Structure 1
Amino acid sequence: MTPRTSPLGVVVVGYGYWGPNIVRNVMERPELELIALCERDPAQVRRFEARTPGVPSSDDFDALLADPRVDAVCIATPPRTHYALARKALEAGKHVLVEKPLATAVEDAEALVDLAERKELVLMPGHTFLYSPPVNKIHDLITSGELGEIYFVTSSRMNLGLYQADGVVCDLAPHDLSILLYWLDRRVASVSAAGCTVFDPDVAETAFLTLRFEDGPSANVQVSWLAPRKVRQMIIVGSRKMVQYDDTMPDGAVRIYDRGLDMEVVQEPANFGEHRLTYRSGDIVAPRIDAAEPLSLELADFANSILTGARPRSHSRLGLEIVRVLAAAEASLAGSGEPVVISREGTLVSKAAPLGPDTRAA
């Protein structure tokens, strides 16, 4: 295969909350060239044109897909639109990066993964935290064994707003789920969830998820739009060490604690009461972590996957697994917190409703 020397042509779809960040990073990546923006909101188009003179925009997605210069599409639109847009792009032979979640229903996510694999195209969910230097530092600590056996993880992701019709689980939980699946490298076996609704009985503004991983630890995840301040914190408890990750502290996002409980055996114990627990409290280390923009690294991985065929870190089957966990969480919410089991085949024991409006006919 002759190495490609020209950049990959990219269309960005959507210029709302996240689209401007994708546009900027596409323009800064040497492997990529921004061909056009696809946006139908005139106000957003004017904002794009003011910031990006010389790059065209269009509201005709089909016409952009027919352009032979376009190799890939980056979708940054509301979750309920992801399936229809990604399906169209894949059917047109374009590689796709779609923001989280991959789709809002399990059957839609499965269909996208199957279509991409049959057409040998890259389908990459935009789980940007997998490219965060602090997240990767903790991944290295876990895989190296420095933390020992991982007992459990707690996560809090809270702020005031932004209210969205898809619900807080669909909006915020994919971040934590992608990090947990990346760190622990295990399948989620069951999910239970409890929620709180204040303004709309069909939309949870706060949710508490408990995940149990196959042959491994458990994790508790709290997500909320109703909090007085922004919280982005995860705590990993291992048999040797513990780690605190605070994404709101760029100068000290990771703290490694040489702390824990050790069990001291008293001679030959006849029962558990003859064991003695001792506290261990050692150093607290803040490792140096080089700064890098995760979205730029994500787009570099996307381009590399297109050019080399390598599987991206944020790959389609990871995105599918996250959609299954989200569906299980929503089913548990609807079932008053009853745990929902996810089989090895990916089916749910209880019927899971779609995470948002069904858009397969779009």
Structure 2
Amino acid sequence: MTERLSVAVVGAGYWGPNLARNFSASPDWDLAVICDLDIARAQQVADRVGGVAVSASLDEVLADPSIDAVAVATPARTHHPIVMAALRAGKHVTVEKPLADERGRGAEMVETARASGLVLMADHTYCYTPAVLKIRELIAAGELGEILFVDSVRINLGLIQPDVDVFWDLAPHDLSIIDFVLPHGLDAETVAAHGADPLHTGKACVGYLTMPLSGGAIAHIHVNWLSPTKIRQMVIGGTKRTLVWDDLNPQQRLSVYDRGVDLAEQSKTTTSDARAAHISYRLGDTWSPALPEKEALSSMTAEFASAIREKRQARTDGASGLRVLSILEAARGSLEAAGAPYPVHTTHRSDNS
């Protein structure tokens, strides 16, 4: 039997209870303590998962030598100090998106973990859903061919966040998925972002983000807090097939279309007219892969434990969180430049990502 690891959940607000429930149910973990400045809120979460200990002192939690790891579910502006304190205390860390509130702080977290031989994992939860794992598998197997475009929509009538705009709130999900499923990850060199604040909240509530990718592909992300309808959809087009992921359709989350445009060799004429190209339309079958029913956070906690035991980087490691941060910071720069393309501080993907 593999010895169970001990974890503390820091933050008992929106996401902390989900983490606590999954760590408590995991065969890999013992949930040791819920830590939150609001001790009553921490107690409510603890009671739901069997009455584990609670604490209002992060220092007290980090000083406990029996605790192997910390799961951070607090506002983004607090990630850097909490994670740095945990790493200095010798704890492995998983932290919810985004990794930090700015790239420089995220880079320091990643470097500290690397130098200390500790696992720093970005809790990019969608990357552990059966649908996204299947998308990654299909692309890796060449089922879609060379990727031509990614078009993602994440809109709803949502909560306007007090500390971040719609890009920093919603786009990390789509960015982390793109980084996870594409062979070269988030390799964009520039980002163009357009945002609007029609309610005069002081931050973008509607946003459009465009990134050229390697090989001539392009990715586009639409995020919106003001839509009366909720849409969670990603379309990934390739030279062989196109995949549509509809996260709100439990009966058919994934659809693979053998339909597209085939562009034959350019006509061997002297004209430069693009219409001289031979274009044909492919109308083949549509199929839907079978997906297992498994909660993403359950898979995330298992991956966190495996990475620690095997002394390797997690699938969604700190570097993947840093690549997402790099895109978000470039988007912020593009917004300030009225939508002009803005350079991305690149972070290369490791072989383990």
What is aligned with 2:333? 331
Q: Tell me, in whole angstroms, the C-alpha distance in 2 between the residues paired with 1:343 and 1:6.
A: 40
SS of aligned partner of 2:228: coil
Q: Which amino acid letter does the alignment assign opposite residue 335 of structure 1?
A: A
Opposite residue 161 of structure 1, the aligned amino acid is: G
Q: Distance in 2 between matches of 1:12 and 1:48?
A: 10
State the alpha-carbon separation in 2 of the partners of residues 283 and 267 from structure 1. 29
> Which residue in 2 is equivalent to 1:241?
241
Q: Matches of 1:195 and 1:10 in 2, distance apart?
A: 39
Q: Distance in 2 between matches of 1:29 and 1:41?
A: 26
Counterparts in 2 of 1:1-362, with a 5 A limit?
Answer: 5-165=2-162, 166-186=164-184, 187-264=187-264, 268-271=268-271, 272-344=274-346
- 1:265–1:274 contact (8 Å) kept in structure 2: no
- Scaled by the length of structure 1, the TM-score of the pair is 0.90
Root mean square deviation, CA, Å:
1.8
So what's the TM-score if we normalise by structure 2? 0.92
What CA distance in whole angstroms lies between the structure 2 residues aligned with 1:85 and 1:179?
A: 25
Post-superposition CA distance 1:246-276 (Å, at most 9, x none): 1111221100011011235697444343333
Partner of 1:349: none
Query: Does structure 1 retain, via aligned residues, the 8 Å contact 2:34–2:46?
Result: no
Which AA in structure 2 matches 1:30?
P
Deviation at 1:62, TM superposition (A): 0.2
> Which stretch has the larger CA shift, 58-67 or 177-186?
177-186
Amino acid aligned to 1:193: A
Amino acid at match of 2:322: L
Runs of 4+ in 1 over 4 A off after TM superposition: 264-268, 343-346
Alpha-carbon distance, 1:214 to partner:
3.3
Which runs of no fewer than 5 residues in structure 2 stay unpaired?
A: 349-353
Q: How many residues align?
A: 343
Name the CA distance, whole Å, in 2 between partners of 1:45 and 1:87: 22
Do the aligned residues in 1 keep the contact of 2:39 with 2:56 (CA within 8 Å)?
Answer: no
Q: Quick one: structure 1 residues 49 and 316, their matched pair in 2 at CA, closer, same or farther if it must change by over 3 Å? A: closer
Given residue 28 of structure 1, which amino acid in structure 2 is its aligned partner? A
SS for the counterpart of 2:227 is coil
Question: Do 2:266 and 2:276's aligned partners in 1 also have CA atoms closer than 8 Å?
Answer: yes
**Distance in 2 between residues matched to 1:283 and 1:58, nearest whole Å:** 56
Secondary structure at the aligned position of 1:203 is classed as coil
Percent of residue pairs identical: 41
- SS in structure 1 of the partner of residue 220 of structure 2: strand
What is the letter of the counterpart of residue 314 of structure 1?
A: T
Give secondary structure in 1 for the equivalent of 2:215. Answer: coil
- CA separation in 1, counterparts of 2:66 and 2:43? 24
CA contact (8 A) 1:189 1:214 kept: no
Provide the C-alpha distance between the structure 1 equivalents of 2:257 and 2:215, rounded to a whole number of angstroms.
Answer: 25
Amino acid at match of 1:120: G
